[in-house]
Structure 1
């Protein structure tokens, strides 16, 4: 009778161990799935960062080009206005118009840059979350 009770306890313990083993296997599988999801999320985050950097480079190139062109226009015309004493009223008006257009272009370029920085910041915050 004593052996029978011990055998029964061993069988119960074996069943309990089997259930625990199955539970551990289930947890292990869930961990593998979670790891894959985390790896995928990291890859997505890396891709988003690369895309953001690429967009930043493109935007900086565009803004730089616009700014340089406008500044060159303003500087060139300023030198002409300062040095050429034979300019008539129409010449002054035309050059002033170019200066105004260049200043407006600078204003637009800085607004575009500001918006891009703002949207990049918003995207960057989303990437971190």
Structure 2
């Protein structure tokens, strides 16, 4: 009778241990599910970051095309300025020639007054021509002033567009540096995720497999209490190993988050 009681007690103890182990395995599986969900969430965030980088790259290409068009427009305006400058030079030569002609005509009028009285009518006509020529000269001077003003305005516009191009170039350089920093952060983050996946798939699975194997051996065991104690000790050792690996993974995740936070603050 006493032997039967000890077996019952042993069976109850084994049943309690199996129940405790099952609960622990349930908790471990629940934690693994949560961790897998976190990993999937971070992978989705990484995909979104890649899409944002592609969008920024397209924006850079469009900006470069706009800069090329702006440079072509500046070159065209510069050619127009050179044409206007050439026209102004020609107008100045024409004005000098007309001034010379006026002086000749004035000399002829003086000579005509002293020599021929009866040519007063002709002198009056020439005086009218001189007035017209003076008006034409004044008009041409006005045109020259207007062209000079237009040339000054064109130069100011060219300077403004050059400054705008320099600002856009600086903004493009800043965007390139930010893109490089974001890529470096992404590489480090993906590397951390790969290390976590390695730990999960290689190190964590081994003690879980040991616990499951020893549990099956306990279910099928008909050996002595000494062997049962040995099985329990092996299961306990695997559970301790699993606990250590879980703590290491938690510390690794905290370190990864800390590094990410420090980089974002920089």
> What is the TM-score of this pair, normalised by structure 2?
0.39
Deviation beyond 3 Å, 4+ runs, structure 1: 91-120
- Higher relative contact order (Cα pairs below 8 Å, separated by 6+ residues): 1
* Contact 1:66 1:105 survives alignment (8 Å): no
User: How far off is 1:95 after superposition?
Assistant: 3.7
User: How far off is 1:94 after superposition?
Assistant: 5.2
- Count of residues paired in the alignment: 125
- What does 1:38-117 align with in structure 2 at a 5 Å threshold? 38-88=175-225, 91-93=227-229, 95-96=231-232, 98-100=234-236, 102-103=238-239, 106=242
Structure 2 vs 1, CA of residues 87 and 11 (structure 1 numbering), >3 Å: closer, same or farther?
Answer: farther
* Contact 1:81 1:92 survives alignment (8 Å): yes
User: How far off is 1:22 after superposition?
Assistant: 0.4
Structure 2 vs 1, CA of residues 79 and 12 (structure 1 numbering), >3 Å: closer, same or farther?
Answer: same
CA distance in 2, matches of 1:2, 1:116: 85
- What does 1:5-44 align with in structure 2 at a 5 Å threshold? 5-44=142-181
Unaligned runs of 5+ in 2: 1-137
User: How far off is 1:76 after superposition?
Assistant: 1.9
* Contact 1:70 1:103 survives alignment (8 Å): yes
User: How far off is 1:106 after superposition?
Assistant: 4.8
